[in-house]
A and B are shown apart, each in its own frame.
Chain A
Amino acid sequence: MAASPRSLSAIVGLGFSALSRKPIGTIRSLAADAVRAAIDDAGLTLNDIDGLLLNPSALAADNALPLKVHEDIGLRDLALLALVDAKGAAVVHMVQQATAAIRCGLATNVACVFSDTPVVPGKGGGQTFAITSPLTGITGWERQYGLFGATGSYALAANRHMALHGWTQDDLGHYVIACRHWAALNPNAVQRGPLSIDAYRASPFVTEPFRVLDCAYPLNGAAAVVVTAAERGKDRRHKPVYVHGMGQGHPGRPMLASTPEPSTGGDLAARRAYEMAGIGPRDITLCQFYDAFSFTALLALEEYGFCEPGASAAFVRDGHTRPGGRLPMNTGGGHLAGGYLQGMTPLAEAVEQGRGTAGDRQVPRSGMILVNGSGGRLEHHAALVLSPEQTP
């Protein structure tokens, strides 16, 4: 493995609120619960925290997670306090911003929290996310065609990629099945039962090519991490997980048929994160990808340098991302089977794996862990390279 030039920061705390498909509190109260849990997990006190970054869901009501939540938590005299909005990439952004703030001396210990309550009585999580998707660039254009929800806009991207590379519906199904293999080993996963390809095929369509089982399983709840300086990481209660590389990608290309495909920022975020860590994709031994839809994870395998364009379907179908495979991926079950806490789902699982506390699903703690987040309709990407080992 190539030597990492330096450890940039350390993730030393991980905490959750209650998680449920039922009403369990407000976005604000759940966020406070998760931050307190993360601070306690780090072996720190409220007085030790001088930074707080907040990531409400992009679909949450305005001011659902206000800056004043720091008063609910009991945090005083903060040196850093901000909302972070970058769609599905926002959790990774928070860790990146916390790291930058710590390294420049703005703050010392920064809590980062995501909180959401998408599942409400009489309304499924899918309805919550069913806003019009602005793809064309003309305000309100998509409304007249009924392009509602991320399920529709991502289905269009999936359909295009599948047609270009000759994928079948079952190619998505094999990814869903791989997630279930991991979820069976995770006592906190929400979909732990085994899944056959026939059962996958029986799952009803939402927006072709996506079936219900291709879509994230939303949860009400919050999760938080505490980020500190790399040199302070080893002083904490749990083994730290170090940040070695960070990258973002926002290509900003209008929709043109001549645009190279796939036109997302994943390759940009990957290249920058690998370069900062002084590694390449061959040094990554574990991936935690933002997989709100089955297709998203398959595409990430290609954009982050693990498969040639179109080759991820065969890679997953051949079992390389399952338990025992050569590139374990989304080891908690991911968004589909582990539960959808947006960017916190992959980050929290990376922390568990880096600490070595992932129980039956624990993979060898060697090599580098890649975490990504993506949002909009794949046009915003952010990535972290993590590992349990500190480098000078």
Chain B
Amino acid sequence: MSTEPVIADIGTFEATFLEFIAARDLRVARWHHSGEILGYATRAPAPDGARSVRWEKASRSATLHAFTLYHRNYHPDFQVPYNVAEVALAEGPILISTVIVGDPAELRVGMALSAVFEPSGRLVFHPAISPKASA
């Protein structure tokens, strides 16, 4: 898998992101001309009219921005309790995802996370293992 940045038009933002995800490649977007990081909801050209977006590989490092624990079943595909998380990638964008933990009591806003693709292709996050803990 290439690690090179990919330049794409802002008009293909969502499709480009999802193509990377389908290839299990987490990328973040920047304006090509300024380097400013973009959120995943970006659809409009830059204020100066620029349209080129540079897609770079994400570091896969993140922190837990917020989480909620579902106790009510809204859909049979999801058995409670389960968590839904806002995850802030180290580069800045926030994604909705989930944190894979044995005990939800381990969840803390600000905890370090690492991005992982499950066998199904779903992007999830695991608590980051610190160098000290893994030594």
Contacts and interface: CB of A to CB of B under 8 A. Distances in A.
A86 to B, nearest CB: 19
A309 to B, nearest CB: 16
Interface string A148-166: 1101100111011001100
Contacts, number: 115
Contact of A207 (B40, B68, B95, B98): B68
A135 interface: yes
Contact of B92 (A148, A155, A164, A256): A256
A100 interface: no
A63 interface: no
B128 interface: no
Contact of A146 (B37, B84, B86, B92): B84
A165 to B, nearest CB: 11
A3 interface: no
Contacts of B68: 152, 155-156, 159, 207-210
Contact of A257 (B77, B92, B97): B92
Counting contact residues on chain B (CB < 8 A from A), the size range is: 35 or more
A204 B71 contact: yes
Contact of B69 (A126, A127, A205, A258): A205
A255 B96 CA distance: 10
A254 interface: yes
B109 interface: yes
Most buried by A among B38, B63, B72, B82: B72
A142 interface: yes
B72 A255 contact: no
A160 B84 contact: no
Given A159-B66, A163-B66, A256-B93, A208 B38 contact: no
Interface string B50-93: 00000000000001011111111011011000101110110011
B66 A146 contact: no
A255 B93 contact: yes
Contacts of A135: 86, 96
A392 interface: no
B9 interface: no
Nearest to A127: B74
Given A148-B74, A152-B84, A208-B68, A141 B109 contact: no
B66 A145 contact: no
A145 B84 contact: yes
B75 A156 contact: no
A256 B67 CA distance: 16
A79 to B, nearest CB: 35
Interface string B118-134: 00001000000000000
25 contacts: A130-B74, A136-B94, A137-B40, A137-B43, A138-B18, A141-B40, A141-B96, A142-B96, A152-B70, A156-B67, A159-B66, A159-B67, A159-B109, A205-B71, A206-B71, A207-B68, A207-B70, A207-B71, A207-B72, A208-B71, A254-B41, A255-B86, A255-B93, A256-B37, A257-B65
Interface of B: 14, 17-18, 37-43, 63, 65-72, 74-75, 77-78, 82, 84-86, 88-89, 92-98, 109-110, 122
